[in-house]
Amino acid sequence: MEKTLKKDPAQKAGTAIAACLIAALYIFLILLDNVLPANSFTLMLIPVLKKGAIYSLICVSMNLLNGFTGLFSLGQAGFLLVGAYTYAIFSIPADQHAAVYQYFDGGAVGFSIPEALGKALGENAGNFLGAVVCIIIAGLVAAAFAALIGIPVLRLKSDYLAIATLGFAEIIRAIFQWNGLGPVTNGSNMLRKYTNFSAIKIGDIKLATAFPFFISMICIALIVLLIHSSYGRAFKAVRDDEVAAEAMGISLFKHKMLSFVISSFFAGVGGALLAMYQTTIQASAFKSAMTYEILLIVVIGGIGSVSGSCIASFLYIACNEWWLRFLDSGSFFGLSVPFFRDGFRKVVFSVLIMVIVLFFSRGIMGDRELSFAGLLRRHKKKAASGAEGGGQA
């Protein structure tokens, strides 16, 4: 089956188109950071692109769990928090520790990975590699937390699992806010001054927008490879029918655990990128409302569709931060509308979400994937049926 697909000309053309588009995208992103002038358009576009890329990864990681393994987990905010904090803790420069950990005598960590690498390799290379190393550590720590939580929690079913993971996310938040761990986590105060996107450069080329795309794309590609592997098929089998999957020799606990840990690893990576984007982080922001928001994006994109989650993330972020801003500003094409004031955008948004949940419960993509090969094939089919004079849609 795989071989016949590979020989398919549409598949080949699709891969070529995708590769060209990705190359064009990176060229555009690098131009955006370095050459294009900063005007009101790019000032809105850049944050939307960055945040959209980060949310894509976070949503795909949640989709791996909820959509592909059928584990309805609501603990995503907790793993984002772990990732964000781990990243920040290891990348605050040593000389900034006194300022950041002002209530905890400069904290207990006392070193910074980007700085240490910077001394050996030069500042730019240090920042780049240091950020990558810290991001990986962030993912690993989040995965370790998930492995611990998974042992008790994954035995539970559907909504009990949801509420237990939600509970663990709250417990994680409380632990990170606890003053007893203050020398490491800075208690309930914010962490800042760590390496953010603006420090990521190669030579003189700034990569502030390309970097989150780069990391997200690698991670999403890894998730897609996983979904297409034998493990991914086992996940889907567990999702569709646990009893049947177990009868076919799939170890339920092992695969649920694998999915949970991997999803949390990528959530941790997403959390680290979110920390880089925000430049300051505070544990109190990672509430269950954040998990709900991510879940709703996954639902908009289609539960069980990676490309759907990515499309929905960019759409959601663009609408939320840019296109629907006029709803909050009090005027619409020069007309002043009295009920267009702060917060109206969110109301419109939540009504839209309810409409999608109630009437279009499959979301944008359902459980299909967007592929250029598929589009080409459909286009060819349409052309062919058009030539034959058949009116079939």
Q: What is the nearest approach in angstroms of another protein to the Cβ of residue 320?
A: 11
Least spacing, CB of residue 172 vs another protein, in Å: 9
CB nearer another protein, residue 24 or residue 171: 171
Distance CA 153, CA 172 (A): 14
Contact 194, 287 (CB under 8 A): no
Helix (H) or strand (E) holding 201, with range, is: strand 201-202
For residues 88 and 295, which CB has a smaller minimum distance to another protein in the complex?
Answer: 295
Nearer to another protein by Cβ, of 60 and 162: the residue is 162
> In angstroms, what is the minimal distance from the CB of 361 to another protein?
6
Q: Residue 327 carries which DSSP code? A: H
Between CA 42 and CA 19 the distance in angstroms is 25
Q: Which is nearer to another protein, 82 or 272 (CB)?
A: 82
Smallest distance from another protein to CB 341, Å: 7
Residues sharing a CB contact under 8 Å with residue 368, sequence separation 6 or more, in sequence order: 302, 305, 308
H/E segment holding residue 18: helix 9-34
Q: How far apart are CA 63 and CA 57, in angstroms?
A: 10
Q: How far is the CB of 189 from another protein (least distance, A)?
A: 13
Give least dist CB 138 to another protein, A: 22
**Which CB, 41 or 160, lies closer to another protein?**
160
Tell me how far, at minimum, the Cβ of 275 lies from another protein, in Å: 21
Distance CA 328, CA 342 (A): 5
Three-state SS at 340: coil
Q: Bridge partners of 162? A: none
Token pair 């995208």 is found at 25
Q: What one-character-per-residue DSSP string does 21-81 give?
A: HHHHHHHHHHHHHHTS---HHHHHHHHHHHHHHHHHHHHHHHHIIIIIS------HHHHHH
Contact 369, 306 (CB under 8 A): yes
Return residues touching another protein (CB under 8 A).
72, 152-153, 155-156, 158-160, 162-164, 166-168, 170-171, 173-175, 177-180, 188, 287-289, 292-293, 295-296, 299, 341-344, 346-347, 349-351, 353-354, 357-358, 361
Q: How far is the CB of 326 from another protein (least distance, A)?
A: 15
Give the closest residue to 227 by CA, choosing from 115, 304, 131.
304
Please, which residue, 144 or 156, has the CB nearer to another protein? 156
Would you say 299 or 373 has its CB closer to another protein? 299
What residue has token string 């979904």? 227
Taking the least distance from each CB to another protein, the nearer of 109 and 181 is 181
Question: Do residues 68 and 266 touch, judged by C-beta distance below 8 A?
Answer: no
CB of residue 180 to another protein, shortest distance in Å: 7
Measured CA to CA, the distance from residue 225 to residue 222 in angstroms comes to 5
Taking the least distance from each CB to another protein, the nearer of 251 and 361 is 361
